[in-house]
Amino acid sequence: MRALPIAVTVLAAALSLTSCGGGSGSTGTSGKSGDASGSAKKAGAAACAIGDTGIQVGPANAATAAGDTGNVPVTLTNKGARCTLKGFPGLTVAAGGTSAAIPADKSAAPEALTLAKGDTASFTITYVRGAEGDAKTLAAKTLKIALPGAATTQSFPWSYGPVAGKGSASEPNASVTPFQPAGD
């Protein structure tokens, strides 16, 4: 009979501990993002404008030899009013007069991400390095970034080597992920 009261006490203590936290094991980020998304839907946050964001490209895990795969992370910081990112960034790599759009990662499903002032988001460019001088390779020197629903771009140097094509230099063997929450 004495085991039953001890078991009840242990069970009550376990239940009270699980109700203290968010249950996810993460720091406050999940709650902040969830609250921001809910508030944005009610407030109708506008799409983020590239002029209201700070953008950092890299540091990258660059492909070092032809045929290798590299990853280039890009982080955006909202410097304006609350706004929403939905979908994929518009990306173009260019060399001289030739440019090629980097397609979205078809296996990824984008979700709306609402950013308050100071919040950050990121996406990753994955590419295959091409062989120098190959007709199917784009010797990229510039990366142009546009946010969803906008034609305005910002340009950044591309220093990660030539990008292999999937048949021609105008079809880069590359992809971009949707926007993800970043930071604390």
- pLDDT tens digits, 74-99: 999 999 999 999 999 999 999 988 99
16-43: pLDDT as tens digits: 333 333 332 222 222 222 333 333 334 4
Q: Identify the structural domains of the chain with CATH numbers, from first to last.
A: 49-182 (2.60.40)
Query: Which residues, 6 or more positions from 155, have their beta carbon under 8 angstroms from its beta carbon?
Result: 142, 143, 144, 145
Please state the pTM of the whole predicted model: 0.74
Q: Answer whether 22's CB lies under 8 Å from 179's CB.
A: no
CA dist 147 and 53 (Å) reads 10
Matching residue, tokens 């990112």: 85
What pLDDT does residue 45 have? 80
Say if residue 49 is exposed, middle or buried (CB neighbours under 10 Å; 0-12, 13-18, 19+).
middle
pLDDT tens digits, one per residue of 133-168: 999 999 999 999 999 988 899 999 999 999 999 989
**Rounded distance, CA 115 to CA 33, Å?**
8
| Residue carrying the six token digits 């508030």 | 39
